[in-house]
């Protein structure tokens, strides 16, 4: 089971550059707020470029930009040309540079990147190397003021969005933005490894891309008492984390992918569907000839759709939503630049974040539902779950597996936690508590023989953080998570 906390990160919307929530997500296609549990997802209708420019405009010290494709125009089959949106972003970068902000930009050399011609020629840029040992530098992230003396300044903008009109307004994309100095530092370290230096001047002799990069070991970030995971490809084995995130689902799962060719990921999703979970998916038609998509069509039936809305637009997301309908579980979102392919996992430069936050998971669900229902065919039916762990002590439930009846509450907790579970027969029970480093911090029960029926244990944890509760009863074992807040 995955073990993660809620990440909180700060963001402001383009209408006003003021401090707000510590995490923010935006979508460029309509959302369905009927699925909202309190915070409505934000649909930025043709104004993501304005939002990006506003974030850039708040920079005071540094901008590190790592973008796969930055184009000032795109030609479509309908011969429509775009010249309006890239200049807004370029102008914001130029203004930052003019007021003394240090600007560094890495781009993929296999693309035209015509947007670079709009930038001041004094801005330092670096194209990724090309050759048989490389594939593509596929990142799409922006780091703002990573080394600001004010810890509230650093911002990371990421997601699956390239910088041109089709991606801003027409293709299906999501953006997620964080405020956190430690997360910004990790992104900066990855940028510096490709740049080959920590300063303004790139160093080709020291730079590393693709398979030559190393795992920097910075993956877990605690923000406002919460944790987010960060993985870069190909050094960090990202697909193994995609698989473990899929496997962590307890109640419902939703995926939306542009390129989906990893059969292990597909088999894990099908296994969840066959186990009775609510599972829905959308893939772009680009993936239609690959095994995972052809596998989903018969197995997920009406719960799976292939995007074929337009030959000029793409379903470009790379996202996974876990348990958004069950806050007693661990609602989370996985997103970033990483397509679910062997190249993304073993060759390309990519970034992936996993955010454990019920509100963010619900906002992504609103976006997914809006997209799924707008495509032709069946509509998405959301499951409902009763997240009320307080079960009367006299209630008897027999022959129920631990995974269906072991509950830790309240979660999050200020310190004191309760564990309830039902035994179908007399069994030896152990309950152990571990911190995020794997150190056992407590044993609530140690191989204690307990009768059939409902049982409750309790423990108080004084140090904030994420903990893992492991129960062993007879031949079954289960690990669940609990967040201790200040």
Say which residues have a Cβ less than 8 Å from residue 104's Cβ, sequence separation at least 6: 62, 63, 64, 65, 124, 125, 126, 191, 195, 200, 202
Say which residues have a Cβ less than 8 Å from residue 19's Cβ, sequence separation at least 6: 10, 12, 152
Residue 21: the pLDDT is 56
Residue 403: the pLDDT is 65
- For 104, 137, 289, 327, 361, the CA distances from 319, given in Å and listed in that order, are 28, 19, 20, 19, 11
- For 144, 275, 324, 450, the CA distances from 272, given in Å and listed in that order, are 39, 5, 15, 32
Residues of the chain with pLDDT under 70: 1-21, 74-83, 132, 222-226, 386-401, 403-404
Residue 330: the pLDDT is 83
**Percent over 70 (pLDDT), the chain:** 88
Task: Give the Cα separation of 172 and 43 in Å (integer).
Answer: 11
Architecture of domain 1-384: 2-Layer Sandwich (3.30)
Beta bridge partners of 477: 472
Residue 226: the pLDDT is 60
- What angle (nearest 5°) sits at the alpha carbon of residue 41, between those of residues 167 and 229? 75
- For 21, 41, 358, 366, 382, the CA distances from 38, given in Å and listed in that order, are 14, 10, 11, 11, 16
CATH 2.60.40.2550 fits 402-484, yes or no: yes
Task: Give the Cα separation of 454 and 390 in Å (integer).
Answer: 12
Residue 298: the pLDDT is 92
Task: Give the Cα separation of 283 and 339 in Å (integer).
Answer: 11
- Helix (H) / strand (E) containing 182: helix 181-195
- Three-state DSSP state, 96: helix
Q: Would you state the structure tokens that stand for residue 102, as one six-digit string? A: 């240090």
How large is the C-alpha radius of gyration of the chain?
A: 23
Number of neighbouring beta carbons within 10 Å of residue 111: 18
Stated pTM of the model? 0.78
Task: Give the Cα separation of 418 and 442 in Å (integer).
Answer: 14
Q: Would you state the structure tokens that stand for residue 484, as one six-digit string? A: 């201790």
Q: Would you state the structure tokens that stand for residue 410, as one six-digit string? A: 């309240």
Where in the chain are the domains? Answer: 1-384, 402-484
Task: Give the Cα separation of 84 and 150 in Å (integer).
Answer: 34
Say which residues have a Cβ less than 8 Å from residue 84's Cβ, sequence separation at least 6: 165
Residue 19: the pLDDT is 33
Task: Give the Cα separation of 485 and 39 in Å (integer).
Answer: 22
- For 160, 167, 340, 418, 429, the CA distances from 69, given in Å and listed in that order, are 11, 10, 19, 50, 56
Task: Give the Cα separation of 178 and 467 in Å (integer).
Answer: 23
**Dihedral of the alpha carbons of 297, 298, 303, 306, in degrees to the nearest 10:** 10
Concatenated DSSP letters for 115-176? GGGGS-TTSEEEEPP-STT---B--EEEEESTT-SSTT--EEEEES--BSHIIIIISB-EEE
């Amino acid at each position: 089971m995955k073990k993660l906390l809620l990440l909180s990160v700060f963001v402001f919307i383009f209408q006003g550059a003021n401090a707000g929530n510590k995490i923010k997500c935006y979508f460029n296609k309509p959302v369905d707020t009927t699925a909202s549990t309190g915070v409505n997802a934000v649909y930025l209708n043709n104004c993501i470029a304005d939002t990006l420019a506003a974030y850039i405009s708040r920079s005071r010290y540094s901008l590190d930009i790592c973008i796969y494709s930055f184009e000032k125009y795109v030609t479509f089959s309908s011969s429509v040309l775009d010249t309006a949106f890239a200049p807004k972003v370029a102008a914001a970068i130029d203004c930052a540079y003019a007021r003394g902000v240090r600007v560094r930009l890495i781009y993929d050399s296999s693309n035209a990147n015509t947007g670079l011609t709009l930038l001041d020629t004094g801005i330092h840029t670096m194209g990724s190397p090309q050759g048989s040992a490389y594939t593509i530098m596929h990142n799409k992230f922006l780091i703002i003021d990573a080394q600001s003396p004010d810890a509230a300044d650093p911002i990371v903008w990421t997601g699956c969005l390239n910088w041109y009109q089709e991606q801003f307004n027409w293709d299906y994309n999501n953006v997620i933005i964080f405020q956190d100095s430690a997360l910004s530092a990790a992104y900066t370290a990855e940028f510096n490894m490709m740049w080959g230096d920590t300063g303004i001047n790139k160093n080709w002799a020291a730079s590393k891309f693709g398979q030559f990069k190393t795992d920097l070991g910075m993956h877990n970030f605690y923000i406002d008492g919460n944790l987010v995971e960060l993985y870069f490809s190909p050094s960090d084995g990202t697909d193994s984390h995609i698989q473990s995130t899929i496997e962590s689902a307890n109640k419902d799962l939703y995926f939306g992918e542009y390129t989906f060719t990893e059969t292990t990921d597909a088999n894990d999703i099908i296994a969840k569907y066959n186990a009775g979970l609510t599972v829905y998916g959308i893939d772009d038609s680009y993936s239609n000839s690959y095994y995972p998509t052809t596998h989903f069509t018969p197995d997920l039936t009406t719960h799976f759709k292939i995007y074929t809305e337009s030959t000029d637009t793409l379903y470009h997301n790379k996202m996974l939503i876990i348990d958004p309908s069950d806050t007693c579980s661990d609602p989370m979102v996985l997103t970033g630049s990483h397509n679910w392919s062997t190249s993304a996992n073993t060759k390309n430069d990519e970034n992936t974040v996993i955010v454990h936050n019920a509100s963010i998971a619900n906002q992504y669900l609103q976006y997914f539902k809006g997209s799924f229902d707008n495509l032709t065919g069946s509509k998405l039916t959301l499951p409902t779950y009763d997240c009320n762990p307080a079960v009367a002590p006299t209630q008897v439930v027999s022959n129920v597996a631990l995974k269906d009846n072991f509950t830790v509450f309240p979660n999050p907790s200020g310190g004191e936690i309760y564990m309830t579970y039902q035994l179908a027969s007399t069994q030896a029970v152990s309950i152990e508590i571990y911190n995020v480093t794997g150190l056992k911090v407590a044993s609530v029960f140690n191989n204690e023989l307990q009768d059939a029926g409902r049982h409750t244990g309790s423990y108080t944890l004084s140090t904030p953080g994420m903990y893992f509760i492991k129960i062993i009863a007879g031949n079954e074992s289960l690990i669940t998570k609990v967040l201790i807040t200040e």
